[in-house]
Amino acid sequence: MAPLRIATRLVLVLSAAVAAVVLAYSLISIEQRATLLRDALIRETETLARTLQIVAENDAGESGGEELNRVLEGVLADPETYAAVTIDDAERVLSGGTDGGTDGGTECLDAILRDLPSTTAEAQGWTECDERVRWVLLPSGTAGAAVLLARRATLLERDVNASRLRLLLLTLVLAGTAAIVIFFVLHRALSAPLGEILRGVHLLGTAGGAERVVVPPAAGELHELGAAFNRMADQLDARRRSLLRQGAERLAMERQLREAETFAVAGRLTGGVLHELGSPLAVIGMRVDAIADHAAATPQLRSQSEAIRAELDRIAKLIEGLMRITRHHEIALEPVDVAGIVRAVVAELQPRCREAGIEPLLRLPGFPIMVSGHAVLIRHAIFNLANNAVQALARHPGEKRLIFRVERQETAVCVVVEDTGPGIPMHHLERVFEPFFTTKGISGGTGLGLGISRSIAEEHGGTLSIGPGADGGTRAALELPAERAF
């Protein structure tokens, strides 16, 4: 069996206390009223007996007792009078009678006569027969005779019984009323505030954290308890958020350490590969120069050779820049038109866009946007972003739009590449910069492009961010600080 609630126990205890107080007060009142009625009956009986004594003394030997008999009959006419008689010293009835007549209903009278100590001296008392009777015995004017008056205590008993019934009803009504009043008072001042605090305690350990409890000022100490609970909950919530933040920071640091280790390995690998590429590219350059300088070379052949030489020079500069990044050397900075680089990248990717049905949209200003940087490295970073977008749109069945924007902001120059492709799943977004991470399969790429692009951005004092686009797809933003802008 579940234990009673505090409010229920208080209602029961306080209601019982109120009922006990009312009952005690009523009992005392009834006893006082019974005493008053009993004293009134005693005085009234004694007064009537004195009156009968006077009548008996005055009537002795004058009218043969006729006046006394009339008075006795008048007294007997009162329903509260049981007996009004004169008796001799042998306890025989000389005149008068009981309410049952002279010859009837004398059982109680016999009991009274047995209780008389003497018929020659004044006496009074109570006799219990079928009912309680108050009697008074007074000597009369006739020698050896006495007047006996007995009156019932019916009125007294009836009044006491009625008072007891009223007491019972009053006690029940007051106890019920007190219980209702106490219940509502306790509910407002105790149960509701405690329930609110208990609800807050239950929520304290849940994933959502604690909620502030609302305890009205009328609750007194419970209002102070609620305020203390709210302070404790705020402190615990702040501590919980701090632990979550520390945990997230620790996980981020561990992830950065893993990325740094992977980048270190990738950097060493990339440095070795770039170093090995230098010799074959030099040989290719020499062969191209030899073809261009050959006497039999046609103008068209010389033009193609010059185009190949230009691309070889660009690759050589890219290798040099990447080698400096992997070896943590400073890169040579020069004024660079970012808008011009974007146009060049779009022109290079135009054939692939046309083949895949992609619509490039250039939203560039009509004037150069200059920054201080390494033109080849910046071009490589922008090309990686654009190339990823083209690859995503090529396999996308829906709308294929590729938007390029260059924005001059207050603190940065931002190059935005945004597509309407399938986008990157949210659980992959935090891993896109990890070395060797790719969602394109084995033949889709090395997984180093975005990592290298971010390294290029950071080498220039900028940032690279990847996220969802406004119309779905992916949005890549390369930011370079404005203080390096011309």
**Domain map of the chain by residue range?**
6-164, 212-329, 333-484
Quote the pLDDT of residue 342: 92
Give the pLDDT of residue 279. 62
Chain segment 215-234, per-residue pLDDT in tens = 777 667 777 777 787 788 77
Instruction: Please determine, for residue 416, whether its predicted confidence score (pLDDT) is greater than 90.
Output: yes
In a 3-state reduction of DSSP, which class is residue 406? strand
Q: Quote the mean pLDDT of the chain.
A: 78
Per-residue burial over 126-153, b = 16 or more CB atoms within 10 Å of its CB, e = otherwise: ebeeeeebbbbbbbbbbeebbbbbbbbb
Q: In whole angstroms, give the CA distance from residue 412 to residue 409.
A: 5
- Which of the given ranges, 86-100, 142-156, 395-409, has the highest pLDDT on average? 395-409
Residue 75: CB atoms within 10 A of its CB come to 20
What DSSP character marks residue 187?
Answer: I
**Measuring CA to CA, how many Å separate 389 from each of 342, 414, 463?**
14, 17, 19
**Tokens 């309410």, residue located:** 99
Q: Is the dihedral of CA 320, 325, 329, 335 positive or negative?
A: positive
Asked if 164 and 157 touch (Cβ cutoff 8 Å), the reply is no
Tell me the β-bridge partners of 479.
414, 463
Amino acid letter at 10? L
CB 215 within 8 A of CB 226: yes
Is 3.40.50.1220 the CATH number for 6-164? no
For 41-69, how does the pLDDT look when each residue is reduced to its tens digit (9 = 90+)? Answer: 888 888 988 888 888 877 765 555 678 78
As a whole-number percent, the residues of the chain with pLDDT over 70 amount to 79
Closest CA to 312 of 338, 286, 347: 286
Q: Tell me the three state secondary structure of residue 128.
A: strand
Q: How far is Cα 475 from Cα 417, in angstroms, rounded to an integer?
A: 6
Is the alpha carbon torsion for 154, 155, 158, 164 positive or negative? Answer: negative
State which amino acid sits at residue 390: V
Q: Which has the closest alpha carbon to 49: 112, 128, 129?
A: 112
Q: Are 6-164 and 212-329 the same fold in CATH?
A: no
Gyration radius from the chain CA atoms: 59
Least-confidence region, from 89-103, 114-128, 403-417, 457-471: 89-103
Place of tokens 């190949």: 308
CATH number of 333-484: 3.30.565.10
Q: What tokens appear for 202 in the block?
A: 């239950």
User: Do residues 380 and 424 touch, judged by C-beta distance below 8 A?
Assistant: no
DSSP 333: P
Q: Is 85 helix (H, G, I), strand (E, B) or coil?
A: strand
Rounded mean pLDDT, 21-39: 82
Q: How many CA atoms lie within 13 A of 28 on its CB side?
A: 6
Segments of 268-411 assigned E as strands: 334-337, 359-363, 370-373, 401-408
pLDDT in tens, 436-451: 667 665 545 566 778 8
Give the residue ranges of DSSP H helices in 60-115: 66-76, 107-115
**What architecture does CATH give domain 212-329?**
Orthogonal Bundle (1.10)
**Model pTM?**
0.43
At 300-354, the pLDDT tens digits run 877 777 778 777 776 766 666 566 555 555 677 888 899 999 999 999 899 999 9
